[in-house]
Amino acid sequence: MSFSIRQKRILEIAHKVGHVTVEGLAEEFDVSPQTIRRDLNELCEQAALMRTHGGAVVASGVANIGYDQRRVHMQAEKEALAALCAADIPDGCSLFINIGTTTEAVARALLKHRELMAITNNMNVAMTLARNPDCEVVVAGGVLRRSDNGLVGEATTDFIRQFKVDIAIIGASAVDMDGTLLDFDYREVRVAQAIIQNARRVFLVADGSKFERSAPVRIASLTDLDALYTDRQPPAPIRRLCAEHDIALRVPA
């Protein structure tokens, strides 16, 4: 691969923070947005980055971006769609909340809800919801994945199967254009599948970059779910699936 000095610097920034934006890079290098778009397109053609709406993320087909990078990636968008999801969750219900920075945003949006029971394999979610005195928090057992404080493995899956909850709030690392939900860790996927199977309704929270990524392990299909919460209108194939299978599509105004 042969990259310009600026493109090499763009790659360094992307690997440090997980994502870059056209606007931010144009300001950083004092060049036009069109110049940055050309740089990003060339980097993506070489599979060094993957394009997203308004920028790019580190290319990753078999390994996820680091947790700290994911936590700040599209943070404002995640908070907006999380607030929308939380608004559709009534007081007095039981929840599954799984691993993910977007599901963590939903947990923060639930801090004023009353009479909740939340079962989670995400220690970050548990610690967040512990601040809500009106929420009973149940933490699944299992193997602690130190990279993101998630609990995974057979023990976690078996624990989840003991419950039948009103609503599951799940995330995914990628959503294929045929509606397949994808992730990177098969142990986490097994837990997510158990969560889906043991919830009366399932809500997916996914920022728009998830429609532009790939991951190797299948979780389920969008058609298995009841609602999709995202920060902007998804691609046409996803919109068609939602319409054809009566999946609520919720996007912040």
Tens-place pLDDT, residues 82-135: 999 999 999 999 999 999 899 999 999 999 999 999 999 999 999 999 999 999
Helices (H), the chain: 5-17, 22-29, 33-45, 67-72, 75-87, 101-109, 123-129, 154-160, 186-197, 236-244
Beta pairing class for 227-229 and 199-205: parallel
Q: What is the mean pLDDT of residues 126-147?
A: 94
By CB atoms closer than 10 A (0-12, 13-18, 19+), residue 246 is: exposed
Q: How confident is the model at residue 62 (pLDDT cuts 50, 70, 90)?
A: very low
Token look-up 């929308």 returns 84
Distance (Å, whole) CA 225 – CA 242: 9
Phi, psi (deg, nearest 5) at residue 36: -65, -40
Comparing 50-54, 132-136, 152-156, 163-167, the range with the smallest average pLDDT is 50-54
- Looking at 1.10.10.10, 3.40.50.150, 3.40.50.300, 1.10.10.60, the CATH number of the domain 5-59 comes to 1.10.10.10
70-250 fold: Rossmann fold (3.40.50)
Distance (Å, whole) CA 248 – CA 246: 6
Phi, psi (deg, nearest 5) at residue 223: -70, -10
Directed axis angle between helix 5-17 and helix 22-29, to 10°? 130
Write out the residue limits of the CATH 1.10.10.10 domain(s) in the chain: 5-59
Give the bridge partners for 130, in sequence order: none
Q: Write down the pTM of the prediction.
A: 0.75
Residue 96 CB-half CA count within 13 A: 32
Tens-place pLDDT, residues 22-32: 999 999 999 99
Cα–Cα distance list, 74 to 46, 78, 92, 183 (Å) = 24, 6, 30, 18
Mean pLDDT of the chain: 90
Residues in contact with 244: Cβ distance below 8 Å, sequence separation at least 6, in sequence order: none
Write out the residue limits of the CATH 3.40.50.1360 domain(s) in the chain: 70-250
The H or E element that residue 201 is part of is strand 199-205
